[in-house]
Amino acid sequence: MSLRRRLLVAPGLQPGTVEFPSKNSERTMSRLWSVLLLLAAVSCTQPNVTPRSSGSVAVSNDDALLFVVDADHDLLVVIDTKTRSVLRQTPVGRQPERVLVAPDGAVFVSSRGARTVSRLSKGGEVVEATATVGAEPVGLALSADQSQLVVANSRSGTLSMLDAKTLQVRREVEVGGQPWAVTAAPDGRRVYVSDFSNGAVRVADLDRGGQVSLTLEQPAEAECAFGTVATRTPNQAADVVLSPEGDRVYVAHVQSRTGQLGAMVQNSLRLAVAPALSTIETSSDTVRRDVARSTNALTNGVAPEVDFPAAFLSTNLDEGCNETRVNSGMDAPSSLVVDGRGEWIFVADHNSNSVAVVSATGRVDESYRVPARGISDVVRVGARPTGIAVAGDLRTAWVHNALDYTVSVVETVNGQLTETHVIPFGRSTLPAEVERGRRLFYSAVDARMTEPEFGGVSCSSCHPNGGADGLSWVLPEQNQNPWSTQRTLPARNTPPLWGVTTTAPYHWDGALADLPAFSTRMVTQMGGRGVSRADVTDLSAYMGTVSPPDNPASGRLAPGLVARGEALFAERCESCHKGAALTDGLAHQTLNAVSFDTPSLRGVFSTAPYLHDGSAPGLRQVLTTRSTLAQHDQRGLSPADLEALEAFVTTR
């Protein structure tokens, strides 16, 4: 069977179709296609392609300007792509998160720390309008007719619909979870919203006022984990992008292996968190399930019967759990773009400082960096890439490296994708120890912290933005028998890290007395070679700056309700959850005779599920059906008092 691939066959010719009658010719031509990935200097007629971008960087419609959000300094930075110089820095709201360029050239910025969205003039010189939206807005999308701007409010669990010209808020609708990224379907009715809290995608129908019409849970995949089969749970759906044809939506998320580890990795979390790329068919709103892919399928010149990318994007293991040619794995995606022809997907990984280039058509080729996963190439860029844009002529990609305050220019050189230039636009103004600690916290490639050659993990892998991933883990030290295939102890729910410098002792059992002991234990689990006391000081300095997220309940609950709840809390809860840290720092025996350290309740509204094993989906269950302490059991309260107590706790 011959394979047919759409390909620019020669300079000066129209796009055509080439037949590959054999394995060898297919392999040869696939390398040519990889070289043409960013179309190095071809002069053929191009189709009308709109530049694509996502995350914290966007490119103007004529490729002349880059727009980059600087979250540390509350700026929109405008860069000339030809001279690679900064043209201007325009102040916007606090902690700008994402940027979007409209077809008319207007620039939209979501400011996560200010609860605002701004519309700027074509060149980003002037803020023309600003609107207040929900708590911690992140994702931005324009409706198909460009009349509405859709904003994903990550902490409110809502979408805001605004007039794209005036930014007048038309309505705010609840979708639930932690809506993060959003993209509009070409039918003009639907938008797809990723849920960062659980790896789901919701479809909102604009004709019905934005109400959720369907929830698309990403499938948990059974993947090889050093000789054992481990189920991976979808989580942290960071981006969702429509294909150029509008027939598919691609979702960048992580797949976390939370269960018992294999015997070879009983002391390491290697590959515990891995990037994933799921595909949704927009015609039916169904998720394409991953399939087994192997380079052996090319033996007879036949590719696997799929036309969508592999879901599991491990860049250092093949389908047989063998190490590949890439000497550093990937950890967690931040953003993705699809090239204008729908052939290739660029996925930025913000903890591994890299961009993977993935075949969108399910190609399997031995010349790829990771053939079985369809990963053609992996490009190393700067620290913490959070956005990516591709030029309209597909010759250049730009990647925003948030911790370096730079933009990487990626081009094809001698058949390899390469970072050819670095454009600086700012510098850190944080104290030196805080900046060093932040880089350690977000790094899955620093050998002090992890094993990058085996798919490193970072502190941020389980504590995104210093919070919690909403998962419960069987940690390596809990595996009493490393050869057992069954859990030997209950899983442990990930706690948030805000205020961690004042909440000793650490871990659910309170066995680690201080941060040096805690850091040493965690780095060992992550596979790192070890951190010095100076490194621990730096990590502590950074974690001391992490604060609870914006609380959507602030100012919205009835004062009388909150006051009644406060009185009940003082009477029934404050003996353990006391002081500014809302913890007594002591261990208490549960009803099943196991002792656990009292967790802090700061920011508790955002840390579901609850309890040591994550068995309580909500605060009401903690107080009633999932009580593990006699003190937790509040079923004797009236429904009104239960509501009041829960309301007060959510304001902490």
Q: Lowest-confidence range among 38-42, 469-473, 582-586, 613-617?
A: 38-42
What average pLDDT does the segment 567-584 reach? 90
Report whether pLDDT(554) > 80: yes
**Token code pair at residue 618:** 């909500």
Q: pLDDT tens across 503-513, in order?
A: 888 888 888 88
Q: How far apart are CA 134 and CA 170, in angstroms?
A: 13
Preceding omega of 609 cis (within 30 degrees of 0): yes
What average pLDDT does the segment 473-498 reach? 66
Q: What is the pLDDT of residue 14?
A: 27
Q: Which residue has the higher pLDDT, 208 or 529?
A: 529
Closest alpha carbon to 148 in 166, 127, 130? 166
Closest alpha carbon to 35 in 289, 370, 367, 302? 367
Q: What is the pLDDT of residue 120?
A: 98
**Token code pair at residue 343:** 């052939």
> Three-state SS for 303?
coil
Q: What is the pLDDT of residue 369?
A: 76
Report whether pLDDT(145) > 50: yes
What average pLDDT does the segment 173-194 reach? 91
Residue 295: CA count within 13 A, CB half-sphere: 18
Q: What is the pLDDT of residue 535?
A: 95
Q: What is the pLDDT of residue 22?
A: 37
What does 605-643 look like in DSSP terms, one character per residue? GGS-SBSTTS-BSSHHHHHTTT--SGGG--TTS-HHHHH
Which CATH code fits 559-650?
A: 1.10.760.10
> Could you report how far apart the first and last alpha carbons of the chain are, in Å?
64
**Contact predicate 183/204, CB 8 Å:** no
Q: Lowest-confidence range among 31-35, 71-75, 211-215, 320-324?
A: 31-35
Report whether pLDDT(47) > 80: no
Which CATH code fits 434-543?
A: 1.10.760.10
Q: What is the pLDDT of residue 272?
A: 78
Report whether pLDDT(518) > 70: yes
**Token code pair at residue 423:** 């454009």
Query: pLDDT-derived band of residue 329, with 50, 70 and 90 as boundaries?
Result: low
What class has domain 3-140+256-429? mainly beta
Query: pLDDT-derived band of residue 477, with 50, 70 and 90 as boundaries?
Result: low
H-type alpha helices, 473-558: 515-525, 533-543
- Every domain of the chain and the residues it spans: 3-140+256-429, 434-543, 559-650
Q: What is the pLDDT of residue 525?
A: 82
What average pLDDT does the segment 605-634 reach? 85
Q: What is the pLDDT of residue 268?
A: 56
pTM of the predicted protein model: 0.87
**Interacting residues of 652 by C-beta distance below 8 A, sequence separation 6+:** 582, 601, 602, 603, 604, 605
User: Beta strands 333-338 and 211-217: pairing type?
Assistant: unpaired
Longest dimension (CA), the chain: 80
Q: What is the pLDDT of residue 374?
A: 81
Q: What is the pLDDT of residue 208?
A: 72
Preceding omega of 516 cis (within 30 degrees of 0): no
Pick the most confident of 369-378, 538-547, 584-593. 538-547
Q: Lowest-confidence range among 70-84, 286-300, 385-399, 623-637?
A: 286-300
What average pLDDT does the segment 454-471 reach? 89
**Contact predicate 467/441, CB 8 Å:** no
Judge whether 3-140+256-429 and 434-543 match in fold. Answer: no
- Chain-centroid distance of CA 149 in Å reads 22
Q: What is the pLDDT of residue 361?
A: 85
3-state secondary structure 20-76: ECCHHHHHHHHHHHHHHHHCCCCCCCCCCCCCEEEECEEECCCCCEEEEEECCCCEE
Q: What is the pLDDT of residue 220?
A: 52
Query: pLDDT-derived band of residue 214, with 50, 70 and 90 as boundaries?
Result: low
Q: Lowest-confidence range among 119-133, 188-202, 262-276, 327-341?
A: 262-276
Q: What is the pLDDT of residue 523?
A: 87
Query: pLDDT-derived band of residue 323, with 50, 70 and 90 as boundaries?
Result: low
Closest alpha carbon to 348 in 388, 380, 389, 377? 388
Positive/negative CA dihedral, 182, 275, 445, 339: negative
Closest alpha carbon to 191 in 218, 155, 161, 167? 161
Q: What is the pLDDT of residue 216?
A: 64
Report whether pLDDT(102) > 80: yes
Specify the DSSP class assigned to residue 260: P
- Chain-centroid distance of CA 369 in Å reads 23
Q: Lowest-confidence range among 77-81, 425-429, 581-585?
A: 581-585
Positive/negative CA dihedral, 437, 469, 212, 176: negative
* Mean pLDDT of all residues belonging to the chain: 81
Buried b (16+ CB within 10 A) or exposed e, 594-606: eebbbbbbbbbbb
User: Beta strands 169-174 and 75-80: pairing type?
Assistant: unpaired
Q: What is the pLDDT of residue 370?
A: 76
Query: pLDDT-derived band of residue 362, with 50, 70 and 90 as boundaries?
Result: confident
Q: What is the pLDDT of residue 625?
A: 83
**Interacting residues of 166 by C-beta distance below 8 A, sequence separation 6+:** 129
**Token code pair at residue 122:** 């074509």
- Type of residue numbered 22: S
Q: What is the pLDDT of residue 121?
A: 96
Query: pLDDT-derived band of residue 314, with 50, 70 and 90 as boundaries?
Result: low
User: Beta strands 273-281 and 127-132: pairing type?
Assistant: unpaired
